[in-house]
Structure 1
Amino acid sequence: MIGHELAGRYKILERIGGGGMALVYKAQDILLNRNVAIKVLRQQFVHDEEFIRRFRREAQSAASLSHPNVVSIYDVGQEDDIHYIVMEYVEGHNLNEIIKERAPLQVDEAVRIASQICDALDHAHHNQIIHRDIKPHNILIGRNGRVKVTDFGIARAVTSTTITQTGSVVGSVHYFSPEHAKGVATGEKSDLYSLGIVLYQMLTARLPFLGESPISVALKHLQEEFDEPREVNPLIPQSVENIILKSMRKNPQERYQSAEEMMQDLETCLLPSRRNEPKLTFEEDEDQTRVMPAIKTMQSGEHKYAAPVSTGDANGDDEPEETSVKGAGKKKWKKPAFFIGLAVLFLGILAGVVIYVNHLFVVPDVPVPNVVNMTEEEAVRTLEEAGLVVSDEVIRKYKQGIAEGTVYEQSKKEGSIVKEGSEIQLSVADAKPLSKMPNVVNKTLDEAIKLLKDQGVIEKRISTSEEYNDNVSAGLIISQSPESPDSNTEFDPDETVVYLVVSKGKESVPMEDLTGMSRSQAESRIKELGLKVGTVDEEPSFTVEKGKVIKQWPWNPDQPATPGTAQNLTVSSGYPPEAFKYTFKVPVAPKVEGEKSKIRIVYSDALGDNQEGEGRTISTTEMIPVELLLAPDKNGSIQVYRDGRAFDTYYVSYSDAKNGTVPVPEIEPPQQPEVPATTNPPEEDGGEDEGQGEGDSDENDPDDESSNPGNGRGNNGNGNGKGKNK
């Protein structure tokens, strides 16, 4: 069944109980997302149609009950051969487990539990539902102390075909009412009889009737009397004992007439005015038979019999007196008055002697006083004053709720008549056995809590605090109170609060510069410093490689950081998505064609200003590619240097590069090498030729060679002219 999904709704988690007729599982209601308890009919009953019919009918009747002390019924159904009832899941223990663990219970606790059971029975009886199987196993106690009665209606489903099945009767026979044991119809008062037994067991830690077989126990319910509760546990008030005695009368008419009546009695029984009320007594049934023995007489030669009346019991133990009949001879006695008087005098003297002897030799009877709840010294003094002797063998045992040295039981109960000088044994509450305090210093908090729990300390009695410590690693125990350097200190786990001081590690550490590290390197270093990794954000960057730390906070480099706190990081996600790379080809030419010139390129873009580009030595015109990273607010610029002097500058805008409209630079040809000068005969006028040219010529351009003959090209234009002949 574990893991099975019943009816497509209830997932079976674990088995939590079971009885003679059914098994109980904890399940999860998938639809409502809550835990429920599911009672599943045992397989040996699934073919008993009469049982199944009554099982369903009674389960439906129980579902009609709505009361805080009744386990609610949610659903009844069948899946193949599985007949089940879905009910409220109660987190806690059943009363049988509590009785086994710590009975006898305190009187007020037992009365409170019985009162809530009574309230549930009263509600059920008003709805014409008789439980018929009230026992500790069917009483659940939640963690909040609320009592829940379960199994309403299941006992009524037992038929003649199942009454002898193993567990159907045996499990409950100790709680049967006499009428239930006889097999006759049971009613509300039968439930109250069973409740009386439950109350008896809670207060005495034992059942009123025990036997070697279920039949012998059932017969005891019918025929025998039980030990009165106060004989077993003298701490029970008389008012509470009276409730048990009345609810467990064998004659139903002498019990409480309703659950409401019993509940009212329970609610008032612990009032100071009632605790020591007189003991409840009942008239015993007298079922005697009048016996008429035969008396032999003579009349006219025949045997006649008269029938005198006898008051002997039904067993005929008393012998009837024979009375003579008519016709018998009468004897007459005649005694002188003297002899009668003498006999009377003799008897009087004899009686006086007997009284005198008794006074000298017969030990007088004395009542036993109540010494329970007295200190041992007070109890001894009280018993000795009453003429009794206290046994040297005092029973010493720890009793919860009773102070050390207080008498909680005496061998003869209060009011018993014993001979003067009789021995009384006392039971005195001893000191509570103490636990050994474990040494938890230098252990983790979880290890320390486990060791303390093993010694009986509940978690709410463990108090923790934290402080920095340079010598003890974070998370380990620095000190404990009470101290236990040798692991041998004794303490009371129910009274002692254990204080643990947990180390937070070193108080501060200098924070390192994490920028430029990869994310994994930075996180590892944070942990090594005793801090925790906090939030890790990402943001784009033109200058920091993707995956490396850009910023750190709240602890900056060289700032004292508190161990255990969080250190946050910002990591580069790379270039912004709108940025892109663009390659610009820069035309360069030597100063003079064929001669070597040294070219240097400096560029600026989104990655920074004045970045060094590729440098070359050229002797002819070339194109040098420059890779630029451009962004909406980051244009590019390229500056060309030839032989150490600025030669030209180019600008690349983001929008032109994005749209493909960057102007293509013109290639400026280099100057032609000089032609050797030719000597011509001087002209007649001896003057100079005037040159004719087009365009502008920059006379200040250091690259302009006006003395060159032929064609000359300026920086910003072309010109034709003639040079001087030398």
Structure 2
Amino acid sequence: MLPDTVIDNRYKIIKSLGGGGMANVYLAHDEFLDRDVTFKMMRLDMKNDADLAKRFQREAVSATELVHDNIVQVYDTGEYEGSQYLVMEYVAGDDLKSYIAQHFPIPYQQVVDIMIQILSAVQAAHDAGIIHRDLKPQNILINEQAQVKITDFGIAIAKSVQDMTQTNTVIGSVHYLSPEQTRGGMASAKSDIYALGVMLYEMLTKQVPYEGDTPVAVAMKHATADMPSVRDFDPRIPQALENVILKSTAKRPQDRYLGAAAMSEDLQTALSPRRSDETRFAPMSETTDETRIIPMAQIQDQLKTGVSSDKIFPDEVPEEPSVQETIITYGKKGYAIKDIARKVDRTPNFVRNVLQENGIKFRKSPKWPWAILGMLILIAATLIFLNYQSNKVTVPDVTNLTQDQATTRIKKAGLTVGTISSTTSKRVAKGKVVRSTQSSGSEAKKGDAINLIISSGRAKVRFGDYVGSDYTMAAAQLRAQGYSVNRKDSASDNVAEGKIMLQSIDANDKVDPISTTVDFTVSTGAVKITVPDFTSKGTQEQVQNWASQNDIVVNFNTQYDGNTKKDHVISQSIRGGSSITKDMVLLVTISQGPQQSSSDSSDDEDTSSDSDSSSSKNNSSSNSSSSKNSSSTDSSSSSSDKE
């Protein structure tokens, strides 16, 4: 599609991001929600392939069932000009394959961090009963914040429907294919674990463990060859880290980790010094007499490219007789040309030429039966065509009609209504037709059944628990999904500033993001208390009462001050009008009044001669008085001498 193309009056194409085996991928802008999205549309040359359409739909269903920070979120699905599309979260960054190429060598701790994020997402998918089946670096995205996102659940399949998959069809990338899949076995959670081990190997070495001239050769190595040692590539890699690879890529599924969570738990301590003396992992011995089965589709692909059979099956017995030899054998036995052609799957002309070139006589069939048969076929074809033309009708457009309205319109066109199924839709109201199995304007035969797909409303997802999360990050994530988010501030002595304390929607509630508003109560930090100005006017009792009411700790000290009344505040450590929290201490200096004079001190000594504490308190006054009395005595003595 060209840039600036607008899909369904909502998604504006910006540029192409590439393409895969079944779809083209674009960067688009959601005009309704004002955000960039990834727009994935089925290729035009494959839109009529029913199996691919089901696979494409399965990707949407699989991904919408998964809500996880490390899984690309699917926002919307639809159909445009006969091709189905997906609208997904846009991840600005590179895939893991490019990331490895650009940043290699990657520090071991960073490798572990990336893998732990991937394992967390895979475990979430497995818990939901979904196996990815195509885990590879190209399907792992890393955004600008180093957050990992798994994408492309196009060949993921629910465990409950695995028995519907043909076991002779291998789906996935051969370099990450588990041994059991190369033998024609079913994909399982253990198959995903194997692919994760290969990816860990690639992050540490920048290469895949097995290479070969053909995909079949690579598949055979997965089934039979020992896993190469990453320590041979880089001896500095800890043995414990290599053991994670060896255990996850064991040939037998039962020797691998029980699940992604177990692999993650082992990986988290792989760089720990306490595991520095760990021995090399060795799985239980495997049987080697098991029949190796390579998928027929891959063998046929190799034959088409001219690969000799000894490269596909190195241990194969000598090849069977050629087609020409078989034709000659049948010819010598007197078989008719048409019978030989049917047995060797060749045209009669081909068989005739082989026999003639080798001088073998063959029976000729009389020509008149073929002439009669040809005429009969021509007559039948003419009658069928005329009957078809007379019974041909155009499928009406029933989109956005109610079921009753759609039924009436279909019957008027000479057609019948077949099965009724439902699907979620963000654009079509509940109870109305999303689409029919045959697109409007196409031709159908009178009486054909048209199946209807009715909207069950918007898809609902589990809201989730955001209590304790950072509000800014949570709000941004939810708004990107279409939620409306409101904030209510509240002080808290126990919850850090900016963290969510309460949410208005229960974590387990199923909601429609587009029509849902959530209220978050967010902590503004500890309670702030304004300190009054106690200086000069306030008393110690007033300060103490205020502190008790507000649960504030106050330390008092005293000093003489002739300018401040006794028991009144001289100064305070925190200026009046400032705000404090309950974990802070206020220091207040209280006046003892003016310093006492010497005569007052003498009177005090006469009246309180037995009180040591009074003498101590007036020590400075006594010292001053003593100094003054000494001067007076000297003066009296002088006068006495004169007399």
Alignment TM-score > 0.5, same fold: no
Q: Which has the higher helix share?
A: 2
Could you say which structure has the larger radius of gyration? 1
User: Which of 1 and 2 has higher RCO (CA within 8 Å, sep 6+)?
Assistant: 2
Q: Which has the higher strand share?
A: 1
